[in-house]
Amino acid sequence: MTRDHMRIAMNAQLCAVAGVLILAGTIQAAEPVPGRLEPFLTVPGGFSVAIDGSATLVSVTGGQGAENASYTLSDCNFCAGTDKQCAREGVFSINFQGAVEPLIGASCHGADGAQRFFLMAPSRDPAAPFFATQGDSFVEYAVYPDRIVLTSDRDRAKVREIWSPGVSQQAGTIERALSMAALAQGREIAEPALVADPGFVVLTDRLREIAETRDGAALVAMAAPDVLTSFGGGGTVDELRELITEPWFWPGFNRLLGGAGVLMHDPEGGNMAIFPAAFDGWPDDLDAYEFMYGDRPGAILRAGPSDTAPALMELHRRVVAQGPWLEGDNALRQPGWSYLCVEPIGCGYARNTEVRSPIDQRAIFIRSDLDAPWILVALVAGD
């Protein structure tokens, strides 16, 4: 692999992973916002986009605000709608582990319907893309921490290309994370079953009322004397009172209730209620520390940490692997966003408000029999 880039073309006899990437779900395309500055993660500065007829103009500014590169992408259009190719079109910054140069990707289509993909970097060429590829009807891309994999159709054959900025010093860490992403492929959290138990319905309604009114005293009144609120604390009601004063508590409590609950029956007549249901329904073969899932309708995996970045995948109830944590480099992280990977889509970003870990905060209640009150025995995160 050279320092500049590597391109590999293969014929139609590609393995399944190298086939056309499937965009799951229906997603509305998010076109670039003209004039809006999109910051880079790895270096100072950012880029902005302008639309001039059928041409897309990309301007790059440095850390001092001066323009240092400008690109005109002729016959580069963005479509609107929910078609999977439309959703993946756009202009976005590409973030690699250890990158010291800004890198911009653009996915668009020409007037003839051909799909196009460009890579731009001011340090390589400030006036023209240094990498371009085209497919007769599609170019699918998957961005990883150390490379981009592109699959296109040309003359009725599928072609695979790989571009990389260079050999990663932490390839093993990256590949381990991608092996977790492969395990997540096609996995979903089951929709919670409707629980008709009258006592459970009463509990759910009461908890929603407490959450709506932020009635901390009512929640404390339901707690066991040794209620568990952390794995490092003593398990006391006073610790619960302190937890409730945290600014994030009520939004988080509302969120776990939004995940519905599950009712478990004790053979001796008691019950246990767990919120959210996904904590109990998490697949046994997936390490809870390695994965996240979309817990809200409309959750989207995007190519970059921006609401205008191309949409890669609808995430509601879908399982995705956490992106690799690379030693000495946090550039792939952005406050407010989670860096996630799933095959064969690649890696991207989802808002923290739309995805959660299966071992995020959960609430566990028990009752000894059908006539007994519900007791809060745990309101805790972690394991």
* Torsion over CA: 166, 170, 171, 174 (sign): negative
13-17, 42-46, 121-125: which has the highest mean pLDDT? 121-125
Closest CA to 158 of 136, 131, 184, 174: 136
The pTM assigned to this predicted structure is 0.85
CA dist 240 and 218 (Å) reads 12
What's the pLDDT at 272? 94
In this predicted structure, the answer to whether residue 42 has a pLDDT above a threshold of 50 is: yes
At 214, give phi and psi (nearest 5°).
55, 50
Residue-wise pLDDT tens digits, 48-90: 999 988 899 999 987 666 678 999 999 998 876 656 667 789 9
> Please, what are the domains in the chain?
16-170 (no CATH), 198-258+260-282+358-380 (3.10.450)
Residues 6+ apart with CB under 8 A from 58: 47, 48, 49, 70, 71, 73, 91, 104, 106, 120
What's the pLDDT at 126? 94
Q: 3-class DSSP state for residue 13? A: coil
Q: Which two tokens stand for residue 122?
A: 């001011």
- Residue holding tokens 């050279």? 2
Q: Provide the terminal-to-terminal Cα distance of the chain, rounded to the nearest Å.
A: 42
Q: 3-class DSSP state for residue 318? A: strand
Residues 6+ apart with CB under 8 A from 198: none
- Mean pLDDT, to the nearest integer, of 190-203? 90
- Mean pLDDT, to the nearest integer, of 7-25? 33
CB-side neighbour CA atoms (13 Å) of 293: 27
In this predicted structure, the answer to whether residue 337 has a pLDDT above a threshold of 90 is: yes
- Mean pLDDT, to the nearest integer, of 102-125? 92
In this predicted structure, the answer to whether residue 212 has a pLDDT above a threshold of 90 is: yes
Closest CA to 150 of 324, 347, 7: 7
State the average pLDDT for the chain.
86
Residue-wise pLDDT tens digits, 302-316: 999 888 889 999 999
Contact by Cβ (8 Å): 90, 348: no
CA dist 100 and 149 (Å) reads 21
Residues 6+ apart with CB under 8 A from 49: 32, 33, 34, 35, 36, 38, 56, 57, 58, 59, 91
**Confidence class for position 332, pLDDT limits 50, 70, 90:** confident
